[in-house]
Structure formats: C-alpha cells, structure tokens
Amino acid sequence: MNNSAKNDYPPGLIRADDLEHLLKALGAGGFRIQAPVIRDQSIVIDEIKSAGELPAGWTDEQNRGHYRIKRRSDNAYFGYVVGPYSWKKFLFPPSTAILEAKRTGNGFQVSAAAETVSPTAFFGIRPCDLRALQILDRVLIGSEYRDPIYQKRREQILIVAVNCTEPGGNCFCTSMESGPGAAEGYDIVLTEMIDAGQHNFLAQAGTERGNLILQQVPSEKATSDALKSAAEAVQMAARKISKKIDTADIKEMLYANAEHPRWEDVAKQCLSCANCTLVCPTCFCANIDDYTDLTGETATRVRRWDSCFTLDHSYIHGGSIRSSVRARYRQWLTHKLAAWHDQFGSSGCVGCGRCITWCPSGIDITEEVAAIRSGTVKAKAI
C-alpha cells in the first residue's frame, strides 16, 4: 500500500537541480502550477512559476494545537508535511456562486454562474491529500448528482504527487492506509532522496500525459539501487509515524458508542470553533446563501463552506437537532470515521493530522477514538 503503483512507465532519476525543468514542462503544457509556498509563517498552497519559490530547506513542527516552520539542516524541497490549507479549496472553493438569476419583465431567468477554469498542476500534493481528492470525487461527482463546479475544475487538474519521506508529528496516514507513499491517482509521483551529497528525485509517471511531461525533463534511468533507496525512504517514514487509529470494526464500534461518556469529556474541551472541519481535506458541508444586488435586478446563490460544529448546521424550524457540543463533536467524528463508510464506501479520514494541529485546544482525534474504544460501553445507557 505504501509503494508506488507498478505500471509500465519506466521510473527516472531527476537531479534536484533539474526540478526547474519539470516546472517548465508543466508550464509549457499550459498548466498553472499550485504548490507549497511559505506565507505568513506557514506552508500554504499558492501559484508558483519556478522551483525557487518552493520552501526548500524548511520543515514544519507539528503537535497538538501547535505549528511552527523551522529551517532544516539540508535543502530538501519537500521536507515538511501538510499546512493549514488543503487542495480542496481549488476544487470546492470556500465560496462560489452556483446560480445567477436575473429579473425579467414578469419573472426571472436563471443561469449557471459563469467561470473560466484553467488547467492546473497540483505540484507537491501528498499521498494523504491525494486520497482526500479521491474521497471528494466520490462525494461530489461519484453518485447520481454531479456537482458541475467541482467536475469542471477536477477535469483541469494534473497531479504531481510527492511521497512522504519525513512525517509530521500529527501524521497517522499509515492507519488510514493513505500514505506515506502514493498508491494511485497521480499523473506523476516524485520521491525526494538526499544522500551523501546527492539530491535527486525518483520520478514515476502514472498516466500517459504524466509520462509525456516527464519525457521533457532531463533524467537518467533509475538504477535498482535508486529504486530501493526510494522505497526505503518511504518505509522509513512509515516507521517514524507514531500516532495511530485502530480501524478494526471502527464503524460498528463508533455506532455502538453513541452514548459513551467520553463525548461529554471532549465536549468540555471543544470550543466548537469549526477549525477542524475547515482544515480537513475531506469535509464537504456547505451552505447556500442568497444575495440580491442593490437594484434587485440580479440575485446570486452562493455556496459557502459550512461546518457541523455550528448550531445552524442542524437547524430545522423551531431549533437545532444537535444543540450540544457533545452531539456536534460526535457527529463530526462519527461521520468522518464511521458513517462515511456507509455513505461513500471508505473512511472520510486520510490521517493528515490537520485537525489535531489546528485545534486551538489540542484535541487529538486519535486519542478520542482510542478512549472510546478502550471504554466501549456494550450495554447502552438509557
């Protein structure tokens, strides 16, 4: 699961100095490039033109409710993990017009909100975040109704994934089987290797268009030693991951523990701030708001990220279904780790650890699951 997919494209070795050529090839292919960059003391995702804009030589220190960027001792381009933003913001924007209505003589007309989307490369997406995209694909374009906004953008995405060789403090992708190596879903996957003064990338195409791009980049044939050390680097990362969630029967376990006292405990700590849902790469709850311009001649329907931690999320006439923080935390965690299986055929969690890092009170989802499992209440409290 943590090895690159076996396929027909021959892996190549690209010298770190030649990474620029890969970016150029993407640019020449008509792709805008979104990649990790440093902004405001954190590693976020933004448009870049050259490899020089990548956070080379930086890493991030992550813990419960803790995030700092720090200098590394080497010049690794990808020596950090995931920041506060996930790639969902490009495909499922925090705020998008979904419909425009215009007044006419005796009524109104509707049209899809017009937008142009240009081909974009997700450069440096991590295996956990790549899995998150696959999960969002199932939610938003994988069933009967397909979200045209997501679909249009998704069709324009080229994926250059980067395997993780150094996990962060809150990572638990190994539990969720989403990393540290990318298994599928990429056009190109890179593994960064720094060893004895050598700084290289093992590059593997996953699709024909990925292969065509790689062909434009100077590279040499990857030796079996290079393949071995790339695989080892990923395996080493897996071994370094200390957080875990025991996913055995997790759906049944959580369903059976809806009345577990732990929910009450975590509710005392939870500020219901919605940070975890905003940083989560798979949370998809959204609200739709209506706006009219000053003249009343046009009305716009805008879809905006919402969170199950807000009271309004479950509001029906008269009140909110989930009025307590206990119920809202339970909803979030149980949905993510249990109900998601019933709804979309997989877990909704990819083990990226963002919800732990960005929780202002340091709640750790892995710890909550463990606590509920260890004190599993079989007889339901009345």
Partner 1 sequence: MATTLEKIKEGLDRSQPWMPNLFRVERIRKETYDTFTFDLETSDGAGCAFQPGQFNMLYIYGVGEVPISISGDPKNSRTLVHTIRAVGTVTKNMRQLKRGDLVGVRGPFGRPWPVEDAKGHDVIIVAGGIGLAPLRPVIYHLLAHREQYGKIILHYGARTPDDILFRQELETWRARFDFDVQVTVDRSTGSWQGNVGVVTLLIPKATFDPLQTIAMVCGPEIMMRFTVLELLKRDLTEENIFLSGERNMKCGIGHCGHCQFGHLFVCNDGPVFRYSDTADLFKKREI
Judged by the rule CB under 8 A, the positions of this chain that interact with partner 1 are 98-99, 101, 103, 106-110, 112, 139-140, 143-148, 151, 255, 258-259, 284-288, 290-292, 296, 299, 301, 306, 308, 313-317, 321-324, 326-327, 330-331, 335, 338-339, 342-343
Nearer to partner 1, 62 or 96 (CB): 96
CB of 170 to partner 1, least distance (A): 24
Nearer to partner 1, 89 or 199 (CB): 89
Q: What secondary structure does DSSP assign to 149-202, as a single string?
A: HHHHHHTTEEEEEE--SS--TT--HHHHT--SS--SS-SEEEEEEEETTEEEEE
DSSP letter assigned to residue 270: -
CB of 144 to partner 1, least distance (A): 6
Nearer to partner 1, 190 or 266 (CB): 266
Nearer to partner 1, 165 or 331 (CB): 331
Distance in angstroms (rounded) separating the CA atoms of residues 55 and 35: 10
Distance in angstroms (rounded) separating the CA atoms of residues 75 and 67: 20
Residues 6+ apart with CB under 8 A from 357: 62, 63, 64, 65, 66, 67, 84, 168, 170, 279
Written as six digits, the tokens of 183 are 């298994």
User: Judging by beta carbons within 10 Å of its beta carbon (0-12, 13-18, 19+), is residue 117 exposed, middle or buried?
Assistant: middle
Phi then psi dihedrals of residue 356, to 5 deg = -80, -45
CB of 115 to partner 1, least distance (A): 13
Nearer to partner 1, 77 or 329 (CB): 329
Phi then psi dihedrals of residue 24, to 5 deg = -65, -45
CB of 19 to partner 1, least distance (A): 38
Nearer to partner 1, 44 or 98 (CB): 98
Written as six digits, the tokens of 176 are 């969720």
CB of 120 to partner 1, least distance (A): 21
Phi then psi dihedrals of residue 296, to 5 deg = 80, 10
CB of 254 to partner 1, least distance (A): 10
Nearer to partner 1, 54 or 279 (CB): 279
CB of 306 to partner 1, least distance (A): 7
Distance in angstroms (rounded) separating the CA atoms of residues 210 and 120: 13
